[in-house]
Amino acid sequence: MLTVKDVPLGTPVTITSVQGDRHLRKRVESMGLLPGRSVIVLRRVGDSVLLKAENARIAIRLTDTLHIGVQT
Sign (positive/negative) of CA torsion 13, 17, 21, 23? positive
Q: State residue 1's pLDDT score.
A: 82
Tell me the pLDDT of the chain (72 aa) as tens digits: 899 888 999 999 999 999 989 999 999 999 989 999 999 999 999 899 999 998 899 999 998 989 999 998
Q: State residue 54's pLDDT score.
A: 87
Q: What's the domain range around 17?
A: 4-71
How many domains, in total, are found in the chain?
Answer: 1
Contact (CB, 8 A) for 28 and 68? yes
Distance CA 1, CA 53 (A): 21
CATH number for the domain harbouring residue 36: 2.30.30.90
Q: State residue 41's pLDDT score.
A: 94
